[in-house]
Structure 1
Amino acid sequence: MDITYQYTKKRYDFGRQPMFCEQGPEMCDSIATNVAEHKHYILRNPVHQLTQNTPAFSEHHVNTRRAEYTSSGANHAEGGWPKDVNTLDPEATQRYRRKIEKDDNYIHCVMSLAPGMEHYVLQNNAIDMYRTYYAEMTSLTAPERSSCRTVNVYRDGSTGGAKRPVSSICWQPEDGHRFAVTYADVDSYRNTHSTTNSYIWDTENANYPEVTIQPPVPLLDLQFNPRDHNILTGGLINGQVGFWDRRQGGGPMGTCPPHVAHRDLVRNVLFINSKSGQEFFSGGPDGACKWWDIRNLNEPTDEIIIDVVKSSFDVQSMANANGVTVLEYEPTIPTRFMVGTENGLVVSGNRKGKTPMEKLPAKFEAHVGPVWSVERNPGFLKNFLTVGDWTVRVWSEDCRESAVVFSPPHRHKITAGTWSPTRLLSN
C-alpha cells in the first residue's frame, strides 16, 4: 500500500532567504529559591523518556471468509412414517395414529403448531377477492342516529375584552329552567385581573342573565343547595369558599377567612347530606378536603389530608398530599366520599374514620394523568365511572387491582363523563 503525503506552501514564501544572527542570552526574570520548599526537594536518578510531538496513525484491513447460505424446502405429500409402518396399509397407519394421539406430548405439539398453521390457512388465495358475496341478502335498516340542535346561546356579558372559558355549570335542582355558570381563566388571572362576574341564567331568556354573581376573585365552581334553591356555594381562585343568595345577587353573603382557606385554588365544592342542609365540602390542588357550615365559615368543621398512608401509625403530611382534581359524593352514603387526584389516583374516603387508614381506606390507580370525572352508578353504587388521559373506565369497589370495563385509548383527550339516567351507560 502506497501512502502519499502532500505539503502545501504559499507562493509568497518561495525564495525568501533566511537571515540568522548571533545573540547572547537575556535574563528575563530571576526568582529566588524558597528555603522551606528547597528542603523537601529530593534528587531523582536520571530518567530517559522518548517523546514524539506528532501523532502516529496506522490503517489495517482484514477480510473475513464469506459464508454462503441457501434456503431450501421439502414438500411432504405424506407425513414421515417409521420404517416398521407400511404406509400402503390403512389399518397399520390408523393403528399408529391412535397410538400417537394418546401420547401427552402430542397435544402440546399440536397446540404449539396451531397458530402458525392458522396463519397460513387464513391466507387462502382460492377466494375471488373481486367477487361480491352475499349480494342476495336483504339490506339492513340504517341505525338510528341521534342529533341535537342549538336552541339558545348564553354569552358572557363581561366587558373585559378577552373571552373567559367556562369553569363550571350547575343546574338548579328540581327546576329545569335555571342554571349557574362560572367563568375563570387561571393563567390569565395570575397576570391580569379581569372581570370576575358569574351568572345565573334562565333558559327562556338568553339575552340577559337573571342574576349576576360578583365574587371578589373569579369563581371556579358554583353549586346550588339541594334543599334551599336560593342559596349557592362556590370555591374561589384564591382558596376561599363562600355562599351567595340568588334573591339578592351581587357580592357574597359570607366567605371564610384567608388563614383557614385552601392553600391553592378550590376546584370543586359539593353539598353533603346533613340535618341542617347547610354543610358542604371543598377540595383543591393543595391536597386537602375541608368541610364547612354556611352558618359559621370562620373555620372548617373537619379536614382530611389526601395522603394515603400504609399503616395506622403513619402521620399524614401536606408535603405528601395528592392534589384533588374532582370530588364525588353520594347522598345515600352520607359518610363516604371519593376524590380524583392529579397523579391518576381515585381515593375512597370515610369521614367517620378515626385513624388515617380508616379515613382513606382504599385507593385505585385509575389513570396515568389527572382524573377529570368520578361518578357512581346510580343503580349499582359499588360501581363508579372515571375519566382521565384518553380512556374511560368503570371500577368496582370489590376489585381494586383492575378496572371492570375500560375503553380503548381514544384519539383525543377525554375531559368529562357521566352515566345515562335511562340506560346506565357512559356518555
Structure 2
Amino acid sequence: MEITYVYSKKRSNFGQQCRFTDRPTELIVDLLPDPSLAATFIERDARDFAIECSQEMSEHEVNTERIRSVSCGINHVEGSWPKDIDSQDMDQTTRFRKKALKDEHYVNSMPHLCSIMRHSMEQNNAIDIYQQYFEDEEVVEAAPDQPSARTINVFRDPNEVKRTATGLSWHPDGSRKLAVAYSCLEFQKASEEMSFDSYIWDTEKCSEPEMTVKPASPLICLEYNPKDSHILVGGSYNGLIAYWDTRRGSQPVEMSKLEHSHQDPVYKIIWLQSNTGTDIFSASTDGQVLWWDIRNMAEPTERLVLDPSNEDNLDKAFGAISLEFDATMPTKFMVGTEQGLVVSCNSKAKTPAESIECTFIGHYGAVYALQRNPFFPKNFLTVGDWTARIWSEDIKESSIISTKPETSYLTDACWSPVRPSVFFTVKMDGTLDVWDILLKHNDPTLRLKVCDEALYSLRMQDNGRFLACGSQLGSATLLEISPALCTLQRNETGMVASMFERETRREKILEARRQEKRLKELSLLEQSQDDDNNKEGDGQLSSEELKARAEAQFFHILDSEIKKREEEEEKQRMAAWRHRNKMLQVECKA
C-alpha cells in the first residue's frame, strides 16, 4: 500500500490575483526643465581610462618533465583461429574450414554479404571514387600571407665535445626522421675525446636520438637509400665508405677496404637509380670519383680521376667537394671542385679524354654546393665564395644569374622541390636566405637568423615544407616554410623557363661581342708589332717614337678596359630595369 500526503494552502494567502489587461498610455507626471539650475552644474574634464577585458594573471613558467616512450613490436603470424586449433597444422585448419562451410549460420549469411559486396563493386565500376576532379585548377593563386619560416625543433649533439653537423638526409618515406652526420672539418683540430657517432633523429622528439650510427671514422655525409629506407650509406673523414641496415643495429654491415678507398675525406655520396638499388658513387678531395656496389665493398666497380690533362694523374687532379646527378640524365654527372670549377663528366665514356666533357669557371673559392633545378635540369645552382650563381649548360664562360656578394661566406644551397624559382642558401653568420628569382635578384625574399654560429649544411624535404640546417656546434635546426614559399604559383613554370632562355640568349650575345672585341684588339696589336718590326729593320724607329708607341698602346688598353666596365654597368642597369618592369607586371596581375 502506498502512503501519500498532500500539502495544500488557500488561494487567499497568496494575495490578490494579477489580471493583466491592455489599456492606453497614461501620463503620470511631467517635469519641465528649470534654466536656473544650469548654473549649479560643474562640467567634468574628459579623461581616458584603460579597461582590460581579460582577467589579469601573473606571469610564470613551468618546466614539465618529458616522458620518454619506447617503441616495441609484436610478431603477428596468423590469427582468428580457436585456441584448440593449431594454425601451423594443415589438417586441423582444413577440417575447421569444411566444418565452417557447412554451418547453417554461414550458409544463410553469405548470400546477404555477397549481395552487399556485389552492389559495392558495381557502384565502384560505375563511379571512379579515386578520380581527381579539377586537375587543371591544382595550381593556385599566390598565397596572401607573407613569406616566412618558423623553427619547429632543434636537435643538439648530445656529446660534450661538439662537432659540426656536416651532412643531413631525410627519411625517404616522410619527414618523421632525419639522419645527421657529425664531423670536425678543421684540420688537425679534432680532440681525442671527440665521439665518432652520428645519429638518426625523430623530428617530434628532440631529447635524445632514435638511433646511433657508429662508424670507424667521423662521417661527413650520410644518405638514405631511396628504395629501401632501412639502409644508409656514409662517407668517412678517412676516406672509407660504409653502409648500415637499421634492422641490424648501429654497427656497419660492410665497409670498403682502406687500400681501395679514397685517400681524403668523402664529401658527397649519391645513390644511383638501378634495378638492384645498391649502386652508389662518391667524390673526395683526393681527385677521384668511385662507383660502388654495397653488396661487395671490397673494391670499387669503376674509377674516374678528375685530371684535366686526361693522364689519370692524381697529383694534377681537381679535388671534388660537391657532386650532382639527375636521373633524367643517367650518363651525365657534375662535380664541384676545390679550385672553383664545375666539371661536367660522362660516366659511359670509353676513354679518359671523353670522361671530362667540359668545365665551367665557377667561383673564386671551392664550390660547396651544386644542384640541378628539379624542373629545368639544364640549369644548375652553385655556391662558392660570397655568391650563389645559376648556370646554363649552353653557356660555359659565365653564369646567367648571380647574386650580389655577401659579407659572409656561403656554405650550402639547395633548390625548392616544389617551386622552380625558389632556392635557399646558408652562410657562416648563421643566416638562412630564401631567394625568389621571379621577384628580385639582388636581395633575398626572406632572411632569417637561425643561430649564432656558422651554418654548414642544408637539406630540403621532398614536400618542400620542411627544411633542416646543420651548424658548426652540432645543432640541426628544423624549420617549417610558409605556404607562400612552398605552393606553386600560377604560370610560374613558364615564367621561369622564359627567364632562363632570355638570360641564356643575352649571355651568348655578350660573349660573342667580347670575343669579337678580343679578336679586333689582337689583330691591332699584331699589326702594330709588324709595323714596329719593319721600322726597326729599316732603322727608322727612334727612342721617342718607341716611347710614343708604347704610350699609345697603354692608353688603348686603358680605354678598352673603361669601355668594358661601362658595358658591365650598363648590363647591371638593364637587369635592374627589367627587374622593376617584372615587379610592376606582378603587381598589376595581383
Distance in 2 of aligned mates of 1:284 and 1:275: 26
Q: Deviations over 1:16-51 (max 9, x none)?
A: xxxxxxxxxxxxxxxxxxxxxxxxxxxxxxxxxxxx
* 8 Å CA contact retained: 1:216, 1:251: no
Distance in 1 of aligned mates of 2:249 and 2:358: 41
User: Alignment partner of 2:289: what SS?
Assistant: strand
Distance in 1 of aligned mates of 2:285 and 2:298: 22
- Structure 1 290/343 Cα, relative in aligned 2: closer, same or farther at 3 Å? same
Alignment-derived partner of residue 179 in structure 2: 180
Mapping for residues 243-262 of structure 1, pairs under 5 Å: 243-262=243-262
Once the 2 structures are TM-superposed, how far is the Cα of residue 191 of structure 1 from its aligned partner?
4.9
User: Alignment partner of 1:338: what SS?
Assistant: strand
Letter in 1 for 2:182: Y
Once the 2 structures are TM-superposed, how far is the Cα of residue 190 of structure 1 from its aligned partner?
4.8
Alignment-derived partner of residue 154 in structure 1: 155
Letter in 2 for 1:392: A
Q: Deviations over 1:153-210 (max 9, x none)?
A: 212122xx22111111100113111110011013356553511111111112111211
Mapping for residues 58-73 of structure 1, pairs under 5 Å: none
Alignment-derived partner of residue 360 in structure 2: 364
Mapping for residues 46-195 of structure 1, pairs under 5 Å: 145-158=146-159, 161-187=160-186, 190-192=190-192, 194-195=194-195
Q: Deviations over 1:399-421 (max 9, x none)?
A: 11111111121222111122223
Q: Deviations over 1:255-292 (max 9, x none)?
A: 01110011111111111111211010111110000000
User: Alignment partner of 2:315: what SS?
Assistant: helix
* 8 Å CA contact retained: 1:214, 1:249: no
User: Could you list the runs of 4 or more consecutive aligned residues of structure 1 that deviate by over 4 angstroms after TM superposition?
Assistant: 188-191
Alignment-derived partner of residue 335 in structure 1: 331
User: Alignment partner of 2:290: what SS?
Assistant: strand
Alignment-derived partner of residue 307 in structure 2: 307
Letter in 2 for 1:182: A
Q: Deviations over 1:358-409 (max 9, x none)?
A: 1110110010110011110111111111111111111111111111111121
Distance in 1 of aligned mates of 2:401 and 2:250: 46
User: Alignment partner of 1:247: what SS?
Assistant: helix
Q: Deviations over 1:182-239 (max 9, x none)?
A: 1101335655351111111111211121111011111111000010110000001111
* 8 Å CA contact retained: 2:336, 2:367: yes
Q: Deviations over 1:311-334 (max 9, x none)?
A: xxx522111000011011112222
User: Alignment partner of 1:186: what SS?
Assistant: coil
Alignment-derived partner of residue 285 in structure 2: 285
* 8 Å CA contact retained: 1:239, 1:266: yes
Structure 1 residue runs of 5 or longer lacking an equivalent are 1-142
- Structure 1 235/305 Cα, relative in aligned 2: closer, same or farther at 3 Å? same
User: Alignment partner of 1:150: what SS?
Assistant: strand
TM-score with structure 2 setting the length? 0.46
User: Alignment partner of 1:340: what SS?
Assistant: strand
Mapping for residues 404-423 of structure 1, pairs under 5 Å: 404-423=400-419
Distance in 1 of aligned mates of 2:362 and 2:185: 26
- Structure 1 155/249 Cα, relative in aligned 2: closer, same or farther at 3 Å? farther
Once the 2 structures are TM-superposed, how far is the Cα of residue 245 of structure 1 from its aligned partner?
0.8
Larger deviation, residues 339-348 vs 323-332: 323-332
Distance in 2 of aligned mates of 1:331 and 1:415: 25
Mapping for residues 216-235 of structure 1, pairs under 5 Å: 216-235=216-235
Structure 2 residue runs of 5 or longer lacking an equivalent are 1-143, 425-590
Distance in 1 of aligned mates of 2:247 and 2:327: 26
Once the 2 structures are TM-superposed, how far is the Cα of residue 242 of structure 1 from its aligned partner?
0.5
Alignment-derived partner of residue 239 in structure 2: 239
Distance in 2 of aligned mates of 1:396 and 1:338: 13
Letter in 2 for 1:203: T
User: Alignment partner of 1:319: what SS?
Assistant: coil
* 8 Å CA contact retained: 1:376, 1:385: yes
Distance in 1 of aligned mates of 2:146 and 2:308: 45
Distance in 2 of aligned mates of 1:346 and 1:246: 35
Alignment-derived partner of residue 373 in structure 1: 369
* 8 Å CA contact retained: 2:161, 2:195: no
User: Alignment partner of 2:150: what SS?
Assistant: coil
Higher gyration radius (CA)? 1
Distance in 2 of aligned mates of 1:189 and 1:275: 42
* 8 Å CA contact retained: 1:240, 1:257: yes
Once the 2 structures are TM-superposed, how far is the Cα of residue 148 of structure 1 from its aligned partner?
2.7
Identity across the alignment (%) = 42
* 8 Å CA contact retained: 2:219, 2:237: yes
Relative contact order, higher structure (CA 8 A, sep 6+): 2
Letter in 2 for 1:170: S
Query: How big is the alpha-carbon RMSD for the aligned residues of Structure 1 and Structure 2?
Result: 1.6
Distance in 2 of aligned mates of 1:203 and 1:392: 29
- Structure 1 423/186 Cα, relative in aligned 2: closer, same or farther at 3 Å? closer
Distance in 2 of aligned mates of 1:152 and 1:398: 42
Once the 2 structures are TM-superposed, how far is the Cα of residue 144 of structure 1 from its aligned partner?
5.6
User: Alignment partner of 1:242: what SS?
Assistant: strand
